Amino acid sequence: MTIRVSAGDDENVSIRPAERADLLAVTHIENASFTQPWPYDAFERFLDEPGFLIAEHEGDVAGYVVADVSRNFGRRLGHVKDIAVHPERRGIGVGSALLTRILAVLTAQGARTVKLEVRRSNDGAKRLYRRFGFEPLRRVPGYYEDGEDALVMIRKLE
Ligand SMILES: CC(C)(COP(=O)(O)OP(=O)(O)OC[C@H]1O[C@@H](n2cnc3c(N)ncnc32)[C@H](O)[C@@H]1OP(=O)(O)O)[C@@H](O)C(=O)NCCC(=O)NCCS
């Protein structure tokens, strides 16, 4: 019997900072998830950053998120740069658990707002972000290399 857990409540999902030993699994998931995947060294640069988190499910690396904080006219802006879950572990709350934790990390870093870009056609991810309080801000024509538009979504943090 499959039980659909509510977002982030699966006791088998745990979130922790990324380590070098995770990078092969991370790039494997990245390659399985995106047509323009980040290379290994792009992740390497975020090691030791508070915004690079790993989700473990039943002891395996199941997903990750990469985010940072920059200054925008004196205000701190969080940016979720990359998030993906292993194709076989989607739909059980791993992505939601990652989002929940990264929003807390960005808040702790002083971010007042958080933004992300999502492919216009990525309805699943857009639904997930809306559920987390993100709202569409603007469309960026041709943002992706294959010409697809991005939707920029933002959310205020408390
Ligand atoms: C978007 C993504 C990170 C969500 O992770 P997840 O662990 O599946 O998320 P959750 O389990 O918390 O579920 C969130 C929603 O995604 C849906 N979903 C998305 N892809 C799914 C899949 N392959 N299987 C099952 N459910 C999926 C869930 O049904 C749920 O939506 P709903 O509750 O409105 O039905 C994941 O689907 C993924 O890695 N996609 C490919 C990479 C990507 O598009 N990243 C986002 C770029 S902006």
Contact between 62 and 94 (Cβ < 8 Å):
yes
Query: What pLDDT is stored for residue 4 in this prediction?
Result: 40
**Ligand 1 pocket test, candidate residues 90, 130, 155, most atoms within 8 A of CB:** 90
Query: What pLDDT is stored for residue 73 in this prediction?
Result: 86
**φ and ψ at residue 154, rounded to 5 degrees:** -135, 160
Q: Output the CA 91–ligand 1 centroid distance in Å.
A: 6
Kindly report the length of the chain: 158
Total H helices, total E strands in the chain: 4, 7
Query: What pLDDT is stored for residue 10 in this prediction?
Result: 64
- CB 23 near ligand 1, within 6 Å: no
**Ligand 1 pocket test, candidate residues 128, 132, 152, most atoms within 8 A of CB:** 128
Neighbouring residues of 2: CB distance < 8 A, sequence distance ≥ 6: none
* Full pLDDT tens readout for the chain, 158 residues: 333 444 445 678 999 999 999 999 999 999 999 999 999 999 999 999 999 999 999 999 999 999 999 998 889 999 999 999 999 999 999 999 999 999 999 999 999 999 999 999 999 999 999 999 999 999 999 999 999 999 999 999 98
Neighbouring residues of 5: CB distance < 8 A, sequence distance ≥ 6: 92, 93
Structural domains of the chain, ranges and CATH numbers in brackets? 13-156 (3.40.630.30)
Burial 93-116 (b: 16+ CB within 10 A, else e): bbbbbbbebbbebbeeeebebbbb
